[in-house]
Amino acid sequence: MNCGWQGSIQEFLQLPYEVLEEALTTFVYGAGEPQHSEEELEKVQSQQRAWKDSYEKMQSILRSFDHVDGSIIFEYALIRGSGRRPDILLILPGQILVIECKSYNAVHAGEYMQTSLYVRDLQHYHSTIQASNVKVSGVLFLTNDQRADVLSIHRFQVYQASQRSLGSLISKLLRKGEAITADRFLSGTYQPSPSMLEAARSILNDEDLPRIKAVDSSNFEDVYDTVQDVIQVAQRTNTHHLVLVSGEPGAGKTFLGLQTAHNTSDSVYLSGNGPLVEVLQDTLNNKVFVQSLYGYKTDFLRYGRTPHEQVIIFDEAQRAWDAEKMGGAFSEPEVIIQIAKQNKPWSVVVGLIGNGQEIHLGEESGLPLWDAAIKEKEITVHAKHENRKFPNAAGYESRDHLHLNSSLRSHAALQYYAFIQALLEGDVEKALELKQPLQPQRYPIFVTDDLHKAKEYMSYLYKDDKKTFGIICASGVDRLKHVPVVPFGNRNELPKPATAYFNYPSSSFYCKNLNYAATEFQTQGLELDASIVHWDADLCWKEGQWHCKHTKRNARDPEQMKINAYRVLLTRGRDTTVIYLPNKPELKSTWDLFVHTLQIPILP
């Protein structure tokens, strides 16, 4: 049973505290006399005092509801929930109330947000709730607060109640509807949207994609089936094909590529993103499943060795290097097409396309490089683009299900990427319109000029669990004297800094230690549960448009590459994003844009 104690309201009212404490202590800390250090023992005793306080207050409040057909659950462990446990779930007819108990009154913003995320996760990822008409609400219960009113915290979509007011809130939320029993709730499955690294592990372990609402409402599986269909056609007819799969950040392109590579024989997943490859290889403890594009092409160009794979997944295909960047006669697409065709009766190259994420020099030529690469190669192209973009294709099939149409990263906030797109395009009116649903969809975005407050918020939000948060910033600006950038380059230590940032809690580079900031190069294709985006004067809002500084030399469109860097940064956080704007005169107009025009709340 994945909770400390459960029973009906009537059973709880007859429950001695000593029985509850033993059950909760055993569940959380294990059976038998705990063997703890003095510090750990104090933590256990502190938790037991909190349980007793919550027990006494809930006993007093629920005596008025002894006639209600309801249940109460203490310390429900969210399966695959990174160690998170809501304090109390009160299951009522037509309603589940997530109650987080605090014995102090000075509540931090991160604690409101934590409660809000519990509500979101249960509402969207718990099978019993999905199959019923039950509403989920959250309340921060200040057990020693004597105020008589209930506060509605609109910014976080939760309530705040006291010992005197929680009963009236329960009465208000009681609805006519089915009463889910505790047993039925606990027998349900909880399948949260996996992070990209969790998804990679699931693929390697042959685990199915969780049946979450975001996947069910997207066309992810249709796109995967379309790619598999092209592979089968290529095998059956001994033909060569280029499949282009597009999608917004977080729509599952990398996940789709990894799943295709794992489930298809004689295939490989390639990425030119060094940090992504290193982190994936480290996470999977496997250097065959995911490979560096650089090593793959070098084996062919320098040593004349043709890789044997007939299905090649090329991540971020729109960022492929042109011939000039390659320093030779061939672009990266030309090299990949040569490898795919040389001495092979059939092949499929799957190009994963993330629009607006070109951040390196040599990546700005985009799809025309692929059209040039297939000239006179007898290759059929499959994509959702117009046929005119591929005049060199031997054949062209336009397929609806080659564009991933829904973000899996930002949970229920399906308009978040569209909001970022409008923001960076300078369409303020559209951005304001798209921001409005983010709050009820429980994707809060905040702005602050206090980095310490941003760090404090993140630390409270994910206290004692495994979710990740960190500082990220655009490259090219010497801005973080007090928070240096994660080193990038050939370093002798293992794990490498970018890998340590995501995977090694004991490292000073680790994201949650908040000692270092990672750049767009080190985070592209990866993600955090929550991010602090350090915005600086390299991108300023002035007189109704964006102005860029510290851009890349020799770039064809340096301003666009700077904007692309911020697009990457602003789409890394799965649960929330905090924009940190230093208090600089040149950023005043940018602050006004966020706070006054777009009405993004200041982090409390």
pLDDT in tens, 498-547: 999 999 999 999 999 999 999 998 998 888 999 999 999 999 999 999 99
Q: How confident is the model at residue 357 (pLDDT cuts 50, 70, 90)?
A: very low
- Give percent above pLDDT 70 in the chain: 89
In a domain, 603, yes or no: no
| Same-domain pairing of 182 and 222 | no
Average pLDDT of the chain to the nearest whole number: 87
CA 540 remoteness from chain centre = 26
Residue 312 lies in a domain: yes
Q: Is residue 329 part of a domain?
A: yes
- How do strand 395-398 and strand 539-542 relate by DSSP bridges? unpaired
What pTM value is reported for the model?
A: 0.84
Peptide bond into 558 cis (omega under 30): no
CB 513 within 8 A of CB 484: no
Same domain flag for 431 and 282:
no
Residue 582 lies in a domain: yes
- pLDDT, one tens digit per residue, over 436-481 is 988 888 888 999 999 999 999 998 888 767 889 999 999 876 555 5
Cα separations in angstroms, 86 against 65, 89, 109: 21, 7, 17
In a domain, 167, yes or no: yes
* Lowest pLDDT segment from 22-31, 239-248, 481-490, 531-540: 481-490
Q: What is the DSSP letter of 25?
A: H
C-alpha 458/C-alpha 114 separation (Å) is 10
Asked if residues 470 and 529 have their Cβ atoms less than 8 Å apart, the reply is: no
- CATH (domain of 176): 3.40.1350
Residues 410-415 have a mean pLDDT of 65
Cβ atoms of residues 428 and 598 within 8 Å: yes
Tell me: do 143 and 45 sit in the same domain.
yes
Cβ neighbours of residue 603 closer than 8 Å, sequence gap 6 or more:
109, 446, 447, 448, 450, 453, 454, 457, 578
291 and 248 in one domain?
yes
Does one domain contain both 241 and 352? yes
If asked whether residues 243 and 285 sit together in one domain, one would say yes
Let me know whether 488 and 570 are in one domain. Answer: yes
Instruction: Kindly state whether residue 409 falls inside one of the protein's structural domains.
Output: no
Q: Give the C-alpha separation, 250 to 543, whole Å.
A: 32
Structure tokens at 459: 């630390």
pLDDT for res 212: 45
177 with 201, same domain? no
Domain match, 174 and 25 both: yes
68 and 108 co-located in one domain: yes
- Domain coverage including residue 458: 416-597
Same domain, 209 and 268: yes
Q: Which of 404, 431, 447 is the last residue of a domain?
A: 404
Point out the domain boundary residue: 144, 166, 187: 187
* pLDDT tens digit sequence for 100-117: 999 988 888 889 999 999
What CATH number does residue 341 fall under? 3.40.50
Return the pLDDT at 505.
93
468 shares its domain with 517: yes
Give me the mean pLDDT over the 49-60 stretch. 96
Of 567, 546, 523, whose CA–CA distance to 357 is shortest? 567
238 SS3 class: coil
In a domain, 602, yes or no: no
At 541 the pLDDT is: 97
Residue 340 has pLDDT above 70, yes or no: yes
pLDDT surpassing 90 at residue 366: no
Q: What burial letters (b/e) apply to 500-518, b meaning 16+ CB within 10 Å? A: bbbbeeebebbbbebbbbb
Last residue of a domain, one of 370, 404, 438: 404
From 51, 4, 47, select the one nearest 24 (Cα to Cα): 4
Residue 599's φ and ψ, nearest 5 degrees, are 60, 35
Specify the number of domains making up the chain: 3
Name the pLDDT band for 364 (thresholds 50, 70, 90): very low
